[in-house]
């Protein structure tokens, strides 16, 4: 009897060691100094994950070390920094279970007027930045024969609107790259998940508006730009913070069988439904009406 008990205890101990080892998954997140990246890092650390967070904003990223995470200095446009960061995780932990590609950036501008340098940089961060991280992490995941890559896209990965065309183009590109990658690594037991938030208060808008202010806008576009700004600045005072989306990202990390994509906000889900139901021309009209009406309403309220 005693032997059986001992045997059972041994089994349970072993099982719990294995389970604990599985619990302590190693996660690498980019863009952890603010927004979705920060909210996700905090949640995962609280849950006991080993979290490495890379960001170009070194000071703002230091909080990670204080709460039990690991801060990495990482500019995702620099291949050597990406490689060094991934190598550090491997040296210290021996593995990377999850990569969350989140570092991103955008500016509001019309297609006609955006500067070529600006759009170059947007693609270098949003699209090729994700690609660099994937390329650095995948050899390790293939060796492990397991892994999950979570790419933060956007609702504008599937729809595109005025003033947001460039940002939407980068997110559309992320969708295509993610879809292809999911098929390419399926036989290697690696999964790829897309996250599609709508408008969320993450600090994104402040940067995007600053870029818009600094850009040249010809007279013809002034009305559109003004409506857009009036409407969007007001909208951003009302939208939710990043924590709700972070919950979905955590879900994508933890799900045994993850969905291929998570739409994380009500506006994202609604917009996709409308887009599916309406013709494209009707959708265009609706968007432009919404912009005009929304802006007029904000202006009226301001007068009061």
Stretch that binds another protein, among 20-28, 52-60, 64-72, 122-130 (CB under 8 A): 122-130
Which of 203, 181, 200 has its CA nearest to residue 192? 181
Residue 30 or 110 having the CB closest to another protein: 110
96 binds another protein (CB under 8 A): no
272 binds another protein (CB under 8 A): no
Tokens representing residue 23 in the block: 């619990």
Q: In whole angstroms, how close is the CB of 234 to another protein at the nearest point? A: 20
Q: In whole angstroms, how close is the CB of 191 to another protein at the nearest point? A: 10
Number of residues located near another protein, criterion CB under 8 A: 60
Q: In whole angstroms, how close is the CB of 84 to another protein at the nearest point? A: 17
Q: x/- site string to another protein, residues 142 to 161, per CB under 8 A?
A: x-------------x--xxx
Eight-class DSSP state of 191: E
User: Has 167 been annotated as catalytic?
Assistant: yes
Residue 38 or 172 having the CB closest to another protein: 172
**Burial status of residue 130 (CB atoms within 10 A of its CB: 0-12, 13-18, 19 or more):** buried
105, 108, 130, 167: the active-site residue: 167
Residue 49 or 128 having the CB closest to another protein: 128
281 binds another protein (CB under 8 A): yes
CA dihedral sign, ordered 185, 186, 187, 188: positive
Is residue 195 within 8 Å of residue 152, measured between CB atoms?
yes
Considering only residues 231 through 250, tell me which ones interact with another protein, judged by CB under 8 A.
none
Which of 178, 135, 134, 133 has its CA nearest to residue 154? 178
> Which strands sit side by side in the sheet containing 190-196, from one edge to the other?
70-73, 50-55, 26-30, 98-101, 147-152, 190-196, 261-263
Note the residues at the interface with another protein (CB under 8 A): 79, 110-114, 116, 119-120, 123, 127-128, 131-132, 134-135, 138-139, 142, 156, 159-166, 168-177, 179-188, 218, 220-221, 224, 260-261, 276, 280-281, 284, 287-288
Any idea which residues carry the catalytic annotation? Answer: 167
């Amino acid at each position: 009897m005693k032997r059986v008990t001992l045997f059972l205890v041994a089994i349970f101990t072993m099982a719990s060691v294995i389970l604990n080892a599985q619990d302590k998954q190693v996660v690498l997140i980019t863009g952890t100094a603010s927004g979705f990246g920060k909210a996700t890092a905090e949640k995962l650390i609280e849950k006991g994950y080993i979290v490495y967070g890379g960001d170009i904003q070194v000071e703002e990223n230091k909080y990670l070390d204080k709460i039990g995470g690991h801060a990495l200095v990482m500019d995702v446009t620099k291949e050597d920094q990406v490689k060094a960061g991934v190598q550090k995780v491997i040296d210290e932990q021996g593995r990377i279970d999850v990569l969350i590609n989140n570092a991103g950036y955008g500016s509001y501008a019309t297609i006609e007027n955006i500067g070529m340098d600006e759009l170059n940089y947007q693609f270098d961060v949003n699209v090729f930045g994700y690609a660099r991280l994937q390329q650095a992490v995948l050899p390790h995941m293939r060796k492990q024969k397991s892994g999950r890559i979570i790419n933060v896209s956007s609702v504008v990965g599937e729809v595109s609107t005025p003033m947001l065309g460039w940002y939407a183009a980068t997110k559309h590109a992320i969708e295509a790259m993610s879809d292809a990658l999911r098929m390419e690594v399926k036989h290697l037991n690696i999964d790829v998940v897309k996250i599609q938030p709508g408008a969320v208060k993450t600090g994104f808008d402040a940067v995007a508006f600053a870029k818009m202010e600094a850009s040249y806008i010809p007279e013809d576009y002034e009305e559109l730009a003004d409506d857009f700004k009036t409407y969007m600045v007001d909208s951003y005072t009302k939208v939710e913070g990043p924590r709700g989306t972070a919950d979905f990202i955590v879900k994508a990390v933890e799900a045994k069988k993850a969905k291929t994509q998570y739409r994380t906000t009500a506006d994202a889900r609604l917009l996709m439904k409308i887009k599916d139901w309406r013709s494209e021309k009707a959708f265009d009209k609706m968007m432009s009406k919404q912009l005009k009406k929304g802006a007029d309403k904000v202006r009226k309220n301001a007068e009061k």
